[in-house]
Amino acid sequence: MEVTIGGTKFSLTKEQVLLAMKKEEPEPVRTYGVKLHGKVYPCKQVLGKITGLPRAKFNAHQAYRVLERLGLSVTTTP
């Protein structure tokens, strides 16, 4: 999937996300989380990891939408 985040274009796949996060430990989820490998990660942590962008370049809602479009299980916390 082609996406522009923070003015930079990326080509992302679900497989890239799964591979990149395989050995990562999740940070606490505040609002939006994505379930990977039986754990729930903050959407911004995942998008930051796979793009290499600083988290200040995008917001949690953008991260949510990108990961959802990749076909990942994205949730909101109460």
Q: Does the pLDDT of residue 27 top 90, yes or no?
A: yes
Q: Does the pLDDT of residue 71 top 80, yes or no?
A: yes
List the chain domain ranges. Answer: 2-76
pLDDT (0 to 100) of residue 76: 87
State which amino acid sits at residue 59: N
Q: Does the pLDDT of residue 54 top 80, yes or no?
A: yes
Average pLDDT rounded to a whole number, residues 53-58: 94
Q: How sure is the predictor about 42, in pLDDT bands with cuts at 50, 70 and 90? A: very high
Predicted model pTM: 0.93
